[in-house]
Structure 1
């Protein structure tokens, strides 16, 4: 018998990616350079408007109004910041923003986690219909709810109170749905083992589900806090008392009688964004990890 020689062609496989490795265009030095260059360009595009706002706010209104494309048109001055701080009660507005955002975040996380756990593990009648209503509520624009919500605040005599600003913001159907989807992925065997040991439902939720859900809960809390801090429309509508205004609303009321003041507008925007920038710098690792592990970046 004649043996026929067979040649086996082996294809070169790329090395297997390790867990936690950065997403690149390929393997080798060239893809890394291309990825770094693309990230640098995107970072520059994001930073240019921010730097332009800083430069504009640090000039006088006369220099800013001078025709020309260059942002550097005059000497450095903090006159715009001084005028805003003199005309408005920035410290009170900042305290109101922090208090409201913190309470909205706390109540939203508590309500959303309990509701999501009920949808994920509950067997009550009407669960699917109620979940469908919750998902459908995600598609309702918040602007459509302004008038009925304001009428409710008038009915309960809550206008110009902290409760009027906080309560309508704690209803977050999107966060309930995200948490519910995460709870669905937790193995039920862990909960059943706890129930066999005598744990009640709330103990199972507090001791088993919540510790395993720290990344998603942290991500939800971060996004809710940022949304509550930046919320302008609802606090602007429901508050008239300057002592109850949030920072974005209060800074918007600081107007000049001589038309648009570009330096002051940029200074107001930077003052409103400064606490969030500090918040991100302090908790940037937690924010990035929460977004990466929960997949909320594209939601």
Structure 2
């Protein structure tokens, strides 16, 4: 009989039971800093509600004050709503001033300042981020140092320069001094530094020029930060009061903040009309912020604006 052989199999060692995977805060959909459970969410929501209430209280008081008569506002008492609501303050401001023309001037100036500033800042930031020209470090240091220069120190030189160019009482006198924004150049430069250079090298291998690389590769990747910078520049240009107040004397060329200030000064201190004019000047900015708030938050969370 043929010998039969048996194959002996080694017994496999028993495996230790795998520990149950803990759900991380990211998989649970909650922020890492808040932890798990309902209590951190409640505390975070309460804190946000308190901060929102503190931020909205002055706005609500200004709105209530603007909807009352001057007599009711001037009366004593702690109750902010002292009388019937009325639109008399808004009607008087519109009748005494050329509000539609001032609003159009502000929109035109703020839009041009935003477009020119974004174009200049993006080109300068890309040159500082990718360029290897002589004097790059010195120019970058001067740009960063100019952030610390107060704009009020430049009013007299800028006014003399505008007068030498015969630009006083023109739109360009208001626009040109505002298109140089060192802070925006620095912010964009920090973002461009984080863009992978491999994408640009691949485009250059395909024969793309430097301008084509910047337009077709870098800018599409920089839409969040460019949108945020555009909003910041637009808000700054719209709120700018001192420089347009100095360089513009013609009432038909005034911006909305300057025009509303002249109406208030001509008719004395009237609190209801002051609040109404402030709300009229701030209303377009509120709409712009509500429309672009997601892009602003995204840019702050994903770029160097948040300190990263």
Q: Same fold (TM over 0.5)?
A: yes
1:78 alignment counterpart = 87
1:279 CA drift (Å)? 1.9
Superposed CA RMSD in Å reads 2.1
Q: 1:273 pairs with 282, 287, 305, which one?
A: 282
Would you say 1:156 and 2:168 are equivalent positions? no
1:160-186 CA distance string (max 9 Å, x none): 100000000000001111111111111
1:20-79 CA distance string (max 9 Å, x none): 854653211011111111111101101111000011000100010001111011111111
Answer whether contact 1:24 1:31 (CA < 8 A) is retained.
no
Cα distance in 2 for partners of 1:124, 1:256 equals 52
Q: 2:228 pairs with 219, 222, 225, which one?
A: 219
2:137 alignment counterpart = 128
Cα distance in 2 for partners of 1:148, 1:200 equals 39
Q: 2:35 pairs with 18, 21, 26, which one?
A: 26
2:238 alignment counterpart = 229
Q: 1:64 pairs with 39, 63, 73, which one?
A: 73
Instruction: Identify if the C-alpha distance between structure 1 residues 298 and 255 changes in structure 2 by more than 3 Å, giving closer, same or farther.
Output: farther
Answer whether contact 2:25 2:36 (CA < 8 A) is retained.
no
1:49 alignment counterpart = 58
Cα distance in 2 for partners of 1:267, 1:29 equals 43
Unpaired segments ≥5 residues, structure 1? 1-9
2:3 alignment counterpart = none
1:296 CA drift (Å)? 2.9
2:151 alignment counterpart = 142
Cα distance in 2 for partners of 1:257, 1:244 equals 18
Cα distance in 2 for partners of 1:230, 1:256 equals 18
1:16 CA drift (Å)? 3.9
Answer whether contact 1:24 1:35 (CA < 8 A) is retained.
no
1:255 alignment counterpart = 264
1:225-273 CA distance string (max 9 Å, x none): 1111111111111101111111111100102666310000000000000
Deviation beyond 6 Å, 4+ runs, structure 1: 10-14
**TM-score, reference length from structure 1:** 0.92
Instruction: Identify if the C-alpha distance between structure 1 residues 293 and 38 changes in structure 2 by more than 3 Å, giving closer, same or farther.
Output: same
1:279-299 CA distance string (max 9 Å, x none): 223333233323332353679
Cα distance in 1 for partners of 2:291, 2:159 equals 36
2:211 alignment counterpart = 202
Unpaired segments ≥5 residues, structure 2? 1-18
1:111-165 CA distance string (max 9 Å, x none): 0000011111111111110111001001101111111111111111111100000
Cα distance in 1 for partners of 2:280, 2:32 equals 35
How many residues are matched?
Answer: 290
1:192 CA drift (Å)? 1.2
